A = this chain, B = another copy of it.
Amino acid sequence: MPRPPAGTPNARDKLLDAALSVIRAKGYSATSVDDLCAAAGVTKGAFFHHFRSKEALAVVAADHWSETTGGLFASAAYHRQTDPLDRVLGYVDFRRSLIAGEVCEFTCLVGTMVQEAYDAHPDIAAACGRSIFGHARTLEADIAEAMERRGMAGGGWTAAGLARHTQAVLQGAFILAKAGGGPDAAVEQIDHLKRYITLLFEARPGEGLPS
């Protein structure tokens, strides 16, 4: 692939960026190819030059979402905490701070898409799954270290499981926000999540089980 002038955003990038906001607001099915082209300021020819189909764009958009958000979290300040539990709680606080403004601005592209696509579009669903579970996996090491430091093994839960739970609560928070609760309803869920993690690490690990 020959390098374009590298400063001007090409049609492909403009379409992907447009997809993030348009699909988050309208959903995958209700977003037409023309909608995406209009939002990106490109023509249909450009669309089908870069993507085999609307479904193919959705898959790439999900990966694009993973990279974009992945970069945001990777460079966030909570990683600098020395206590691994503080890093986990710092992640939760950071997620909380992101919830503001219009609902479509803080909700999750892949959570929205997988609801519509899981049955009819397996490729999209798989891309969304990679994004959600891949992001959860970035939390595992800190949770596992916090568990080890406090001797938490044997409580009936795992680092991977708790990491997945954080994502479930976040996705549920977005649904409640969309159902009329707004940002407040979403923040409330994150506060419960933080309280849960705090309680988990305060509680004594399971008595009858070896650590």
Contacts of A95 in B (CB 8 A): none
Q: A170 CA to B165 CA in the complex, in Å?
A: 11
Q: Per a CB cutoff under 8 Å, which of B25, B128, B170, B199 touches A199?
A: B199
Residue contact A115 to B115, C-beta cutoff 8 Å:
yes
Residue contact A165 to B188, C-beta cutoff 8 Å:
yes
Residue contact B164 to A188, C-beta cutoff 8 Å:
yes
Q: A200 CA to B196 CA in the complex, in Å?
A: 8
Contacts of A112 in B (CB 8 A): 115-116
How many monomers of this protein are in the complex?
A: 2
Residue contact B176 to A119, C-beta cutoff 8 Å:
no
Residue contact A185 to B169, C-beta cutoff 8 Å:
no
Contacts of A164 in B (CB 8 A): 176, 181, 185, 188-189
Q: Per a CB cutoff under 8 Å, which of B129, B169, B203 touches A179?
A: B129
Q: Mark A177-211, 1 if CB is under 8 A from B, else 0.
A: 01111000100110110011001101100000000
Residue contact B133 to A118, C-beta cutoff 8 Å:
no
Interface centre among A25, A111, A178 (most CB of B within 10 A): A178
**Chain B CB within 8 A of A85 CB:** no
Where chain A touches its partner, the secondary structure class is: helix
* Least Cβ–Cβ distance between A155 and chain B, in angstroms: 8
**Chain B CB within 8 A of A125 CB:** yes
Residue contact B168 to A172, C-beta cutoff 8 Å:
yes
Contacts of A161 in B (CB 8 A): 188, 192
Residue contact B27 to A115, C-beta cutoff 8 Å:
yes
Pick the 8 closest A-B CB pairs, nearest first.
A172-B172, A168-B172, A129-B180, A29-B29, A27-B116, A118-B178, A129-B179, A171-B172
* Chain A interfacial positions (CB closer than 8 Å to B): 25-30, 103-104, 110-112, 114-116, 118-120, 125-126, 128-129, 132-133, 156-157, 161-162, 164-165, 167-173, 175-176, 178-181, 185, 188-189, 191-192, 195-196, 199-200, 202-203
